Chains A and B, each alone.
With several copies, the nearest count.
Chain A
């Protein structure tokens, strides 16, 4: 089966998750990827949505983080203060999925304003939602975002959620308990931080994508990690499971980061 680059991205994200992990999920691509993982190789994956649903087991993709299907299938539904204070803040969550309007070379995320200054921005984005504390407290963070120069910037106009700050040691100095953005999944490939410099570099290219294409779509001088590999193409099983999920649900745009209403 042929596949789209968005399908490759979603499947690559799903593969990052393992059964038994606890995953904090936002709507859009993260929710699709997490539910795909749960429907394929990670049946015991625990999904937490910031609306307070713990262990949701939706049989179709929820249309908002407050979809009724989440409450109805959850092991427990708790208040919003509880989900942040008792469940996210102490570091109980293995994986947090985030999107980004801008992602910089150190994995810092902007979902607040672009251009101008804060008080009179060129573009006003939705804002932080749950992302700053997800980025701070999950054991690791996976960022899922389409690859473009508009998004992959040298320096974010505004740091909404901290990745590696300005480099090594910053998370520790700030007292951020989680490990930060361990993986960035795009429609072109997969990035991970250099263990020394914390700068994001390319570890995988999706099938048919060239290093030049990825560099062209990145606003800094993107390095390839040693042993740069090709992502395994989607299997028929993965594609079928993904399409079963998405055809059961109207498409939702993917720009949204954590948040909802």
Chain B
């Protein structure tokens, strides 16, 4: 059964230096508050896993929390580059960043295999691309019935999976709706999991389009109202598009980035997230 604890406690208990950590949320429900808590707790050498390492991973990478990134699209959506990510890859600042790069379909299937207790997944993907040559984690596989050659990718089972959802009940059952992305797979694939939520309610009344992750499949639930900002939580907060544009300027320069993190993350009260 999931235990409902403060965010600071959950992150301190779950996330250790050197862990592989997946903070997911595909375009919606991105767990910024949890990411900021990881920065505050000064974690190092994390293997960060995420299909779309956007602003939250730009921040973690820029603060030197990561030694490796496993991903499929690293940009500021609708705006352009992630400057901290590029600075790490192009100039090794503040630390070199090893990359393992996939396509969305490959990453999604890796999480599916992880959630399914299988060591690998099969897809029609990557064939003819130069992605194949850059990692040992893309291999051909032959159909034992037709002889057709397809592509295999290994399961992802991160040490810690972190997602944000709209609500949980006091027993720790989690409910999310709207674009639910890859969240369920990440929680089920992870060895330990944290779900931050907009609110904890007495009862999860059924909602169209909602999925529920039962409490017994989650390690910790933590309340983090507004915890997906500047991303959004459908029904609770709206996407702060201006911040995504502003981030381009903030992150372009190492110094303005550090100043911003200092003011909005490090000096922000623990358990509270101030992103814009």
Contacts and interface: CB of A to CB of B under 8 A. Distances in A.
Contacts, number: 242
Interface stretch (B2-10, B12-20, B84-92, B254-262): B84-92
Interface stretch (A85-93, A197-205, A207-215): A85-93
B74 to A, nearest CB: 5
B28 A51 contact: yes
A214 B28 CA distance: 40
Interface in A120-154: 120-133, 136-137
A20 B216 CA distance: 8
A17 B214 CA distance: 19
A124 B86 contact: yes
A48 to B, nearest CB: 10
B220 to A, nearest CB: 17
Q: Which of A80, A121, A131, A133 has the most CB of B within 10 A?
A: A80
Q: Which of B72, B78, B185 has the most CB of A within 10 A?
A: B78
A54 B217 CA distance: 11
A155 B225 CA distance: 49
Given A76-B213, A253-B78, A71 B178 contact: yes
Interface stretch (B35-43, B127-135, B158-166, B264-272): B127-135
Given A51-B28, A160-B131, A256-B77, A128 B179 contact: no
Q: How large is the interface on B (under 10, 10 to 19, 20 to 34, 35 or more residues)?
A: 35 or more
Contact of B105 (A54, A126, A132, A250): A132
B71 to A, nearest CB: 7
17 contacts: A20-B216, A46-B216, A53-B179, A63-B78, A66-B27, A76-B213, A80-B108, A80-B182, A81-B112, A132-B131, A133-B103, A161-B129, A162-B127, A175-B127, A175-B149, A177-B124, A261-B231
Interface of B: 1, 26-28, 30, 51-55, 71-82, 85-86, 89-90, 101-105, 108-109, 111-112, 115-118, 123-131, 134, 148-150, 173, 178-182, 184-185, 188, 209, 211-214, 216-217, 231-232, 234, 238-239, 241
